[in-house]
Amino acid sequence: MEIAIVGGGIAGLGLALNLQQRGLQCRVYEAVPEVKELGVGITLLPHAMRELARLGLQAILEPLGIENRESCFFNRFGQLIYREPRGRFAGYDIPELGMHRGRLHRVLYQAALERLGRDRIVTDRRCVRVEQDDAGVTLHFQETSTGATCPPVPADIAVGCDGVNSTVRAQFYPGEQLVFTGINTWRGVTRRPPILTGRTYMRVGSIRTGKIVIYPIIDNVDGNGNQLINWTTEIQTGGEQQNDWNKPGRLDDFIHLYESWRFDWLDVAELIRRADVIFEYPMVDKDPIERWSFGRVTLAGDAAHPMYPRGSNGSAQGLVDARVLADCLCEEAEPVAALHAYEAIRAGPAADVVRTNRTSPPDFINIKVEELTGDRPFEKLDDFITQDELRALSDRYKQVAGYSLDQLQNRGGPSGS
């Protein structure tokens, strides 16, 4: 069986490595002419790290990132709301890592080149359509760099791992639109001394009054002890003006919300102003779909379930997709039946994460406290909500996303979630 994977991002390369591990033939077709280390930060939660460890990549990845020790939630006045240990410090047998997204992609790409062979990772190929009949599929590509039409490619099945604007998905859901509800984000990286423990993941404020997520991704980035700090602002604008994709961001569009955020532990405005780069993105997803598989074609990763980039869950869910799909293809003799088995396992849990990221993401803790305190500094938080109640909110998200301690330690890792 020959499997064609459309898209060489985290989900596509993760699928290729899982298939190779099980002795199944595949070929990856990536649109970019040259794979480069791009992007800003990414957090690899325990369920993502579990999938990467199964692929033999944990030892390579750990030195490239920073192991998170704790997660801290603050209001916009810099007051600590809730703190919890993370990864190994919370009892997991695997770490939670913050790292540069480009480094993760490079590790996956190099592993795929080495294990599958260079001829099975094809770049500069943009998929324009997929055709199928009872015998197999035919993929049609253009050369991205020139626009030239490439010879058709036959395969037994095709998997669309081509992201939120998936061409493969668009064939089965024509006219489908991204869901934008007025939330825009700006992301950047700044070189500076470690914040708090130097191993702390921070969520400050809420989307209603301005929110920022901050965490380190590279240690001693300049040889002088400074870290590369990743930050993401998230703002509910209330309008229909949607940010562009991965476009250089303008400081003047959002810095005014953070000018007064000067705490005894961090000057947020200075962190933003000293950024090496700033990019803007819209906060978008798509409504969950029940059907991912159509005959010999299926979807995985963001092509199947684009979700708000909250809770560090998009890449994790794509890596779980990759492992479950590879298992189904290995266990089912008939390809179409394998794709439907995969869909039956993954579509429901992934839809739950999409909905939860919209309504009750991890920073719902910040929103809840803001509501209870009237968006004012507090003297004693327990007068409004207890730490046990806040812990329950945090644990509920982990359960839905598939990385509660019980799920990973007792069952060996998520399958349907």
Q: Tens of pLDDT along 314-338? A: 899 999 999 999 999 999 989 999 9
Reading the chain (417 residues) residue by residue, the pLDDT tens digits are 999 999 999 999 999 999 999 999 999 999 999 888 777 899 999 999 999 999 999 999 999 999 999 999 999 999 999 999 999 999 999 999 999 999 999 999 999 999 999 999 999 999 999 999 999 999 999 999 999 999 999 999 999 999 999 999 999 999 898 888 888 899 999 999 999 999 999 999 998 889 999 999 999 999 999 999 999 999 887 666 787 777 889 999 999 999 999 999 999 999 999 999 999 988 888 899 989 999 999 999 999 999 887 767 889 999 999 999 999 999 998 999 999 999 999 999 999 988 888 777 777 899 999 999 999 999 999 999 999 999 998 888 888 877 888 887 755 444 454
In a domain, 319, yes or no: yes
In a domain, 80, yes or no: no
In a domain, 129, yes or no: yes
Q: Exposed e or buried b for every residue in 396-415, given b needs 16+ CB within 10 A?
A: ebbebbbbbeebbeeeebbe
In a domain, 120, yes or no: yes
- Say how far residue 131 (Cα) sits from the centre of its chain: 29
Strands 277-285, 210-218: parallel, antiparallel or unpaired by DSSP? Answer: unpaired
In a domain, 121, yes or no: yes
In a domain, 381, yes or no: no
Q: What six digits make up the tokens of 113?
A: 């080149």
Q: Is this model's pTM higher than 0.85 or not?
A: yes
Nearest Cα neighbor of 320 from 11, 43, 109, 56 is: 11
In a domain, 309, yes or no: yes
In a domain, 74, yes or no: no
Residue 312 near residue 43, CB atoms below 8 Å: yes
Interval 195-209: pLDDT, tens: 999 999 999 999 888
Q: What six digits make up the tokens of 240?
A: 């229909």
Query: Domain tally for the chain?
Result: 1
Q: Which range marks the domain in which residue 313 is found?
A: 2-67+97-177+287-360
Residue 46 near residue 137, CB atoms below 8 Å: no
* Residue 301's CATH number: 3.50.50.60
